[in-house]
Amino acid sequence: MIEVKNLRKSFGDKLVINDVSAVMQSGKTNLIIGTSGSGKTVLMKIMVGLMTPDVGEVLYEGKNIVDMEEKELKEIRTQIGMLFQGSALFDSKTVEENVMFPLDMFTKQSKADKRKRVTEVLSRVNLDGSNKKFPSEISGGMKKRVALARAIVLNPKYLFCDEPNSGLDPQTSLVIDKLIKEITLEYNITTVINTHDMNTVMESGDHIVYMHKGNKRWEGSNKEIVFSDDQELNNFIFASDFLKKAKEMSMIEAQGQSPKR
């Protein structure tokens, strides 16, 4: 579990995070959503420890990383997996070498043990036999799965995903969403996803934090979001006429009425 308390962050005169508190739950996919400039990316960077808040706490299992000494913070970082927006693979390294990179950095395992672990996680993301391929030889969806394998190779307690479906077609996006959700449940990971993708929101949003102009505007699940009466949230989630109609039908069905034809 990760808890943020009363976070504030400014850049000069611009307040980008305003007194935000939230709890990211273990074994669940926790989504941070909002328009560009809403503060969601800054919030995630503060949670990972890449930025320091002006005020507030970031608690990992009750331990505040804002005040930690470097040695203790490094220990927390070994428990964090990160899936970057552009996958961030090394073009000159094979798939195996890319996934092995965190093991090289943070462990003293033998080469044989590292290869065994890499093969295990590649199999878990359905990339058996891809060890010796280079990033230029695989598809965008496969690159995301390689990046996910790298993110979980150290058995992290916490997984951060920055726009995991960026640049992917809808079908591949659903595959990535399903895989992240399965891995979250299997290993009881606290997963935090920064996303614009509405499929991710509706399919994977166990717990959702909606950011608007630096404030936490709404918090709930993907089942509750359909019934929200927050106009800003509805404008963001149900932007198209098709999605607005889908919301109306969901509400009607939940009330036990027959939708109008």
Could you tell me the pTM of the whole model?
A: 0.88
Q: Which of 108, 140, 155 delimits the end of a domain?
A: 155
How far is residue 138's CA from residue 77's CA, in Å, rounded to a whole number?
A: 29
H or E element that contains 20: strand 14-24
The pLDDT assigned to 184 comes to 94
Same domain, 74 and 164: yes
Same domain, 11 and 135: no
For residue 38, being part of any structural domain is answered with yes
What is the tens place of the pLDDT at every residue in 200-242?
A: 888 888 999 999 999 999 999 988 888 888 888 888 887 666 5
Same domain, 22 and 116: no
Same domain, 71 and 169: yes
Domain of 133 in residue numbering reads as: 88-155
93 φ/ψ angles, rounded to the nearest 5 degrees: -105, 150
How far is residue 165's CA from residue 171's CA, in Å, rounded to a whole number?
A: 10
What is the tens place of the pLDDT at every residue in 42-63?
A: 999 999 999 999 999 999 999 9
37-40-43 Cα angle (round to 5)? 125
The pLDDT assigned to 103 comes to 95
User: In the numeric block, which tokens belong to residue 55?
Assistant: 């005020």
Q: Residue 237, CB half-sphere, CA atoms under 13 Å: how many? A: 29
Please give the tally of structural domains in the chain: 2
Helices (H) and strands (E) in the chain, counts: 10, 10
